[in-house]
Chains A and B, each alone.
Chain A
Amino acid sequence: GQQVMQIPQYQHVQEGEDFTTYCNSSTTLSNIQWYKQRPGGHPVFLIQLVKSGEVKKQKRLTFQFGEAKKNSSLHITATQTTDVGTYFCAGFSYNTDKLIFGTGTRLQVFP
């Protein structure tokens, strides 16, 4: 079945350092969404990418959707302690008609 993997599984950074998480799907995706889940919290929607090669920015966050629509990345510039949490990509495929969450990357930021 469809699988969505993320690397790395964990990342510890010093405040001010950059962070990137990569998302790879076993199948071509129709769109990809990104969510952030704070410790003890629930997933919160960040953004959706639809077009091949699309790049979107939200302040310090940059999101990319690969040309083949099978991978995506989230890059955070100059991390802050408020960035702590687990970042999930979630891909939708018309083949499965379902949104499949990636395995997640847990980010820890040390002050």
Chain B
Amino acid sequence: DTEVTQTPKHLVMGMTNKKSLKCEQHMGHRAMYWYKQKAKKPPELMFVYSYEKLSINESVPSRFSPECPNSSLLNLHLHALQPEDSALYLCASSQANTLDEAFFGQGTRLTVV
């Protein structure tokens, strides 16, 4: 199994809502990532988890809260988002660290209204 699965594929939420994005991989990878991608732009790193511990937080606003319940799962909890947070949110995993090939999920297309 060489897939990274993200749910939901699409999400529309209001600015007062709380929602969560989910990511799952069964490749035994120990590094997992959240990226944000705006249209026609490169993916921007948000968070890195290494061996289930948060190792990098790219100064992301606290309305985004990551969680890594176990080595296969990665969540991104969303609360009080702004319309400018609308984007494609990509989860990725790699074997051990950033030097390894990254496998990306198909992403969650988020619209904040």
Residue positions of A touching B, CB distance < 8 A: 30-31, 33, 35, 41-45, 48, 88, 92, 97-104, 106
Contacts and interface: CB of A to CB of B under 8 A. Distances in A.
A42 B99 contact: no
B76 to A, nearest CB: 16
A80 to B, nearest CB: 23
A31 B99 contact: yes
A106 B44 CA distance: 17
State the main secondary structure of chain A at its contact with B.
strand
Given A42-B90, A43-B92, A98-B45, 8 more contacts: A33-B102, A45-B102, A92-B99, A98-B48, A99-B102, A101-B42, A101-B43, A104-B41
State the main secondary structure of chain B at its contact with A.
loop
B11 interface: no
Nearest to A89: B42
25 contacts: A30-B99, A31-B99, A33-B101, A33-B102, A35-B102, A42-B105, A42-B107, A43-B43, A43-B90, A43-B92, A43-B104, A44-B104, A45-B101, A45-B103, A88-B43, A92-B98, A97-B56, A98-B45, A98-B56, A101-B42, A101-B44, A103-B41, A103-B42, A104-B40, A104-B42
Interface in B75-113: 90, 92, 98-99, 101-107
B80 to A, nearest CB: 27
A99 B98 contact: yes
